Structures are given as structure tokens and as C-alpha cells.
Amino acid sequence: MAVTTKQMSLLVGTLGILSFVFGVIAENKKPASGTPITGKDVIICKYPADPTVALGYLSFGFLVASTLAGGSSLFYPYKGKSVPREALFKSTSFFVFFLIALGSTGLAATMLLWPTITEHKHLVSNVHYNLETTCPTAKTGLLGGGAFLALDAALFWLVSLMLADNAREDYFDDVKGAGSDPISTEYDGDGVIKGNA
């Protein structure tokens, strides 16, 4: 069964929505801080059990999947017809939205990974020799912001896909126009049209 642009757009959108949902839930489940337990010359931070780290990594994973699907959907040979990349990048609007999609994906990935890795580090390294520590968690708001950027990135991949589809149609129209023979007209000796070839 051949893949269509509609199916690819549905895949990109679904993966982007999943990344958004997991990122928002991760932000909402993140504890404000841990509980410091004083030991001999150390503070041990006890954090409540929460799925923030797992949800953060899931959100990042779906962002990567959405990006891979979005990027490959732009250059996929639909109906067995491939288009040279140069032909797609001739379209200024496609090029601009392609760059915006890449930029928003990179920013979303940074905003999802940074707090997730930080939170993971806090959970693993929970023994502190600084007796003034307050058992911090990752910065609040980054996971939620990353989730919204992941959704934006998926939307920009969808816009890029629509613009690539337009550029693809223009390319095939140009190829078809250049490959067809012009209509030739023949005249007889009196200047009367004999017929079209």
C-alpha cells in the first residue's frame, strides 16, 4: 500500500500531540522539592515517587519520532515519483518553514531534555555534603514550555509538508510542460491551415 501525504501528516500530528501530552503531564507531576534528611555530615534528599523523568524521556522520544516522520515525509517519493531536493528548496516559503521547523525542534528538544536530565541527576545523586542544601528539583516551567514547542514543531513540519506538496506539484507541472511537444501548424501554398500535427 502506498503512503500518502494525508497519512504522513496524520502520523506527524499524532506523534507531536503525544510529545506535548507527555511533556505537560511531566511538568504537572514534578515535585517542588525533596525532603532533606540529616545524616552524619551529609544531607540525604528523599524525593517522592513520581513519573517525571520517564514522562520527560517519553516526550523527547515522541518529539524525535515526529521530527523523523516530518523530515522524511518531505522527501518521500509519493506515487513512486521522487523530486530533486533542489526543486523543493527553490520555494522560499518551503525553505523558511523548513528552517523554522528545524529550529523549533531543536529548542523543544533542549527544553525537554535539560530538566529531564537534571531531575534524573537529582534523583540519582541525592547525597549532599553541603548541609545548607534544600533538595532542589529541575527548574519549573521548562518541561511545559518544551511540550508546547514540541507541538509547535509538529505543526511547522505539517506546514512544511503542505508547502513541499505544492512545490512537488509545481515541479511535475514544469517537467510535464517541458516534455510535451508544442503543437505545430502546417500551411498549404495558399496560406490555408492544413491541419494540426
Above 50 in pLDDT, residue 185?
A: no
**From CA 40, how far away is CA 28, in angstroms rounded?**
34
Instruction: Walk me through the domains of the chain, giving residue ranges and CATH numbers.
Output: 5-33+49-120+137-181 (1.20.120)
d(C-alpha 46, C-alpha 137), whole Å: 11
Query: What is the rounded CA–CA span in Å between residue 147 and residue 17?
Result: 9
For residue 83, the one-letter residue type is: V
3-class secondary structure, 194: strand
Is 60 exceeded by the pLDDT of residue 179? no
User: Does residue 97 carry a pLDDT above 90?
Assistant: yes
CA-to-CA distance for 9 and 17, rounded, in angstroms?
12
> What span, in angstroms and rounded, lies between the C-alpha atoms of 193 and 197?
11
- pLDDT score of 150 more than 60: yes
Contact yes or no for 48/91 (Cβ under 8 A) = no
| Helix (H), strand (E) at residue 102 | helix 92-124
